[in-house]
Structure 1
């Protein structure tokens, strides 16, 4: 009753009437300004918002075929999603293959929002695990560490190391906690800088931040920290979950020589979040300062290629002190470790396999893009199935021909490049420019993203292998079967 009496007395008093009138006036002004801003945002042609111009009618997105089925439309959407790989940069650049990266996670209360399902916090941890696995898959001789921002502090979640199992286990433990407090970018950057301080000159130093808040509680001047990171050549990438933040923009610009498009991305949805985060798995191109530093003097790095042993009685490994019958022996000090790649706990020698070194080189010598086979060439070609998986190609039909005619004749506003892209969507054939073999789009994805070799060129033998004219091959890498017999006796220098 007290609350209702106070509201009744306030509504009946004359002061409340004046207050109500002033509130109505302010609300009216704000409403008119909002309507004016909305009117400015509306398109002058279609009557909708500017970001809705590409979607005029909902039936333009997904169209039914003659039988009323959406299978063909969904298949086109899936294929268009796969075709995004064709727009990836394939230019051979000088990159650092021995990377040292610190992953910074925002664990503040802003991550409790549920605009991303199930929440920002849970989805960020899930994608962070996928990022760690993909990072070590593409960079097996690199190292990674994890830092969390919570309650205005930065805490180390996992040390800088090359074992992905330890990092995944540390992030899995975070799922039991709840986000709280505010983040501190300066504390996280200073901790990352301290962890990367002892990185040798042949390794790159990087920081990837998943930032969901719009504020940062810093104890000092963060601009001085940004200047220090730039002087120490530490690259910073930011994945924003809410909106663009000015300090994050300056941070990415200063530490990446003005490159903002590829280093700072604000996500649109869950799928875009995953794409922007996984883009950091590719090593960044070397800057002018790094190239000048590398030309001033080359440094040899000693690596050991141990052989696997299987013992009759279990013994302790030096890395985790666990009883195991199998493992790898360091060629320098004969200390046993359980997994590779890693650093020897006794002598500090980098222990890898020859396959790890070979997988790291695909960033320097990327596989050439395969061009799409159009319908005129597909009709005259004698190839009816994929060279790799033997999956039969789609044959041109009346529906395909009519669809192509409708696209050409009915879309006068579509450019020639877009029209050509729509025509080649129906073929599903991709040809290697070196061996001239045809592949399906699934084999195209597998060859460029996982295998990093052309099955047709590999089947042709050494004479059929051709490298890029810009990047020279570093030499043949021996297979894993010969690694133990040739390189297990002593470490080598590269």
Structure 2
């Protein structure tokens, strides 16, 4: 017969057939997994069976609510301003061993890692435009450089795409990969972070020597290591994460991915700069330092000239503010004088990590009815109207998911209020996942209402509130400090 991997299995017993069958419910799943050590029971979760109908008899409102909850989940994070290292030196270590050919993550661990790594590189430079990234691979007990430290995401993505034609082989070597990463980060400036992110799918490491000596060298070099496991927790990985991150809990430095979505979330979490408490000088002391940067302007020559970074003839480029050497792209370090060259937009895009935009609060129907804002301030999309009987809206839970149902029932075709609709339920409160019942989200600073799409766009792309950045929002903020916001707004409307 053919099993779930579409491979022919010959002379298989009836017990093994029952143990490998694909089940549809909890009862069948428990029956399949209760076969002992002969086989593992595989269970397919039919998530569509848990989607329930809404008050209008359709599942569209429930699906929209689930989508909105998924968008809102990414925004419900800590927005406390912290000191972070926005200039980062990160080395990404990829496990290219035979263990990455497993199919527990579809299509395989290897192909999924390459796809997520490409997305990670793009997102990393979007969030950290003045940082440096390098990639190291390990297989057959060796480690090799896939892409050196640089600030050009296109070079990294091109090198990752070349791995699609190769197959994972051999065993990984954590010690060789960490030694190579430590050597690459040895000359990193003291004002930058030194980080290593490991994507590890194996359960062992083929090392030539004592890996604890390498871990001690990483600690003395102030290099932090984060690990994302794809199989199970490994003792040496836990030791490595604990010793290089003594002030952080293990759940933030070493986590095993449960599924494809969880794997992506863990990987994208590394795009946020880590918190720092001090700057380490070369002598081991604590000191504050200033970094000299140059902000060159783009030039276009009438005839091709050689650039200082690649020695290639180009017409366009940027001139170093100190030595007037020509470079192709920014951000980079001048090859001649070593000055850090960036654009003002790069610095502005890194600024939001230090002062993140505060989360907007959910708006209930009582607050929405008392306000005259009927459209989203960002995209001018009309908000949904208050449904009939919204004051008796009640929220019920089914299998870990929520749905809204009217606390009314129909008797002979005529709606009549339920006996619990008035006494027990007065107003549907905001759900635990942060989804607004009215579809409105309010900025506590300017008081403007926004839809969920503008909420996501403002927090993940713009990192600024459109209401606070508008003329009325700035006047309101200034008036709130002086206690005369109403007078200022009235004068602004007259003018």
| 2: CA distance, partners of 1:82 / 1:344 | 41
User: Offset at 1:294?
Assistant: 10
Matched, 1:242 2:253: no
| 1: CA distance, partners of 2:380 / 2:145 | 50
Instruction: Give 5+ residue unaligned stretches, structure 1.
Output: 1-37, 43-51, 467-494
Name the SS of the counterpart of 2:149 in structure 1. strand
Contact 1:145 1:158 in 2 (8 A): yes
User: Offset at 1:329?
Assistant: 1.0
Deviates more, 1:379-388 or 1:313-322: 313-322
Matched, 1:187 2:198: no
Within a 5 Å distance, the mapping from 1:74-473 to structure 2 comes to 74-257=63-246, 258-287=248-277, 296-398=286-388, 403-404=393-394, 420-421=431-432, 425-460=436-471
User: Offset at 1:100?
Assistant: 0.5
Contact 1:429 1:440 in 2 (8 A): yes
Instruction: Give 5+ residue unaligned stretches, structure 2.
Output: 1-29, 35-42, 397-403, 408-419, 422-426, 479-495
| 2: CA distance, partners of 1:359 / 1:464 | 26
Q: Quick one: structure 1 residues 417 and 153, their matched pair in 2 at CA, closer, same or farther if it must change by over 3 Å? A: farther
Contact 1:375 1:424 in 2 (8 A): no
Q: How many residues align?
A: 413
Name the SS of the counterpart of 2:148 in structure 1. strand
| 1: CA distance, partners of 2:179 / 2:282 | 26
Q: Quick one: structure 1 residues 74 and 366, their matched pair in 2 at CA, closer, same or farther if it must change by over 3 Å? A: same
- Per the alignment, residue 474 of structure 1 pairs with none
Can you list the C-alpha shifts for 1:443-468, whole angstroms capped at 9, x where unaligned? 111111111111111113755669xx
User: Offset at 1:421?
Assistant: 3.4
Name the SS of the counterpart of 1:321 in structure 2. coil
TM-score where L is the length of structure 2:
0.77
| 2: CA distance, partners of 1:312 / 1:85 | 48
Q: Which runs of 4+ in 1 moved over 4 A?
A: 57-60, 287-295, 399-403, 405-411, 416-420, 461-466
Contact 2:363 2:436 in 1 (8 A): no
Can you list the C-alpha shifts for 1:336-361, whole angstroms capped at 9, x where unaligned? 21211111122221110111112112
User: Offset at 1:58?
Assistant: 6.6
Q: Quick one: structure 1 residues 210 and 444, their matched pair in 2 at CA, closer, same or farther if it must change by over 3 Å? A: same
| 1: CA distance, partners of 2:141 / 2:442 | 54
TM-score where L is the length of structure 1:
0.77
| 2: CA distance, partners of 1:272 / 1:423 | 20
CA RMSD of aligned residues (A): 3.1
| 1: CA distance, partners of 2:213 / 2:456 | 43
Q: Quick one: structure 1 residues 465 and 128, their matched pair in 2 at CA, closer, same or farther if it must change by over 3 Å? A: farther
| 2: CA distance, partners of 1:144 / 1:399 | 55
Contact 1:374 1:424 in 2 (8 A): no
User: Offset at 1:394?
Assistant: 1.4
User: Offset at 1:250?
Assistant: 1.6
Can you list the C-alpha shifts for 1:409-440, whole angstroms capped at 9, x where unaligned? 899xxxx9986437953322111111111111
Structure with more strand by fraction: 2
User: Offset at 1:170?
Assistant: 1.1
User: Offset at 1:116?
Assistant: 1.8
Contact 1:111 1:213 in 2 (8 A): yes
